Amino acid sequence: MDKTATGWVSGALGVLVFSGSMPATRAALAGFDPIFLTVARASLAGLLALGLLLAFRQPRPARGDFLSLAVVALGVVLGFPLLSALALRHIDAAQSQIFLGLLPLSTALFGVLRGGERPHAAFWLCAGLGSACVVFVALRHGAALPGIGVVLMLAAIIVCGLGYAEGAKLSRRLGGWQVISWALVLTLPTMLTASLITCPTTFSGVTGSAWAGLVYVSAFSMLLGFVFWYRGLALGGIAAVGQLQLLQPILGLGASALLLHETVPPAMLGVTAGVVLCVAGAKRFV
């Protein structure tokens, strides 16, 4: 299998893992505060990452890499988990999936700014149409999508796209799993301290599903998914492989309906399908 094909396979596995993130976060929020959930998931993932780095005796990154690692940590270790968790206090997991249709465009934009990629002009036209579909559903269902939830999800998408592109660029030198592991370890002291400060006085009321959600977003969403995802972006191209994220809303909607029994309006499915078609068309012109 050539490098590009390997990148697409790896990226698809990453998307599959990420598709359970929003439903798992929603489940975890039934038992944990958003702030504690954010720092706890980063702490648990950071401890796992530290163990991996020590077990495989990975050398420390060069001094010049630490700024990029800080950007990755800001985007995907702190920014997206916190902003999306806060958003899920106002919207449900199914509603949040539609905003993930903006992730390919956000990733591609930062791929140009940080990764030096130059997609064809037609790519931006198709990607822009996909984004317009997302804006339309946000406006059309304004009553169903509270303004604060919309703002928080849009902010989460922006910082996540930055973290994806920056991590992909760095993965070309350090390797995919090394990038996310070092980003997690970089924030580990802060996250552990914050976990102790925000830790609930008792866990007696936390359900099994909330614990399961915390485990998933810690081990899978925060670590394992990025092992595949950063490798895929580095091998196949940030803008190109980034289009696979359009599968995430569909998979996530299915997970929300199956695991959380949330209602998925037909209009939301239609708009999601439209976004997928737009960005799939953009893939031809990357």
Number of domains in the chain: 1
Q: Is the model more confident about 263 or about 61?
A: 61
- 254: pLDDT confidence band, cut at 50, 70 and 90? confident
pLDDT at 268 exceeding the cut of 70: no
Segment 1-6 shows an average pLDDT of 81
For 210, residues 6+ apart whose C-beta sits below 8 A from its C-beta are 27, 28, 29, 30, 31, 32
Range of the domain at 130: 3-283
- pLDDT score recorded for residue 285: 67
> Rounded to an integer, what distance in angstroms lies between the CA atom of residue 166 and that of residue 176?
11
Query: CB of 244 within 8 A of CB of 11?
Result: yes
Segment 236-256 shows an average pLDDT of 80
Structure confidence by residue, pLDDT tens digits, 166-206: 999 999 889 889 999 999 999 999 999 999 999 999 999 89
- pLDDT score recorded for residue 46: 97
Query: CB of 7 within 8 A of CB of 233?
Result: yes
Q: Is the model more confident about 160 or about 134?
A: 160
Compute the half-sphere exposure of residue 94: CA atoms within 13 Å on the CB side of its CA. Answer: 19
Exposure string (b/e) for 137-161, b if CB count within 10 Å is 16 or more? Answer: bbeebeeebeeebbebbbbbbbbbb
For 108, residues 6+ apart whose C-beta sits below 8 A from its C-beta are 117, 119, 123, 127, 161, 238, 239, 242
Query: CB of 86 within 8 A of CB of 149?
Result: no
Q: What's the pTM?
A: 0.87
- pLDDT score recorded for residue 279: 65
- pLDDT score recorded for residue 286: 62
pLDDT at 64 exceeding the cut of 60: yes
pLDDT at 208 exceeding the cut of 70: yes
- pLDDT score recorded for residue 262: 72
Q: What is the mean pLDDT of the chain?
A: 86
> Rounded to an integer, what distance in angstroms lies between the CA atom of residue 189 and that of residue 192?
5
- 145: pLDDT confidence band, cut at 50, 70 and 90? low
Segment 268-275 shows an average pLDDT of 70
Nearest alpha-carbon partner for 242 in 71, 123, 69, 97:
123
